[in-house]
Amino acid sequence: MSHVDSSKAQQVVDDVVARLTGTGLSDAERAEACEAALKQLMGYLIEREGWMAEEFTAIARSLGAY
């Protein structure tokens, strides 16, 4: 990944974190929202990046997130 791509990826992560922390959720609700967001992101990547599907699936399952 190039430096520009890393910067864009970091901005996306920062935006998601800011939205999760700025919603007034309790710690438990925020944890649930983070888990749900991670599951959706992993599903998106697995679906659209077929060559990585096995790796993402194995990692996700090992984390209990997918």
The length of the chain is 66
As given in the structure block, the two tokens for residue 63 are: 């984390």
- Phi and psi at 13, nearest 5°, equal -60, -45
For residues 52 and 45, the answer to whether their CB atoms sit within 8 Å is yes
Residue 2 has pLDDT above 50, yes or no: no
Residue 3 has pLDDT above 60, yes or no: no
Residue 1's pLDDT band (cuts 50, 70, 90): very low
Which residue from 1, 63, 8, 10 is spatially nearest to 38, judged by alpha carbons? 63
pTM above 0.85, yes or no: no
- Model confidence pLDDT, tens digit, residues 9-60: 889 889 988 888 887 889 899 889 888 888 888 788 777 777 667 777 777 7
Residues whose CB is less than 8 angstroms from the CB of residue 37 and which lie 6 or more positions away in sequence, other chains included: 16, 20
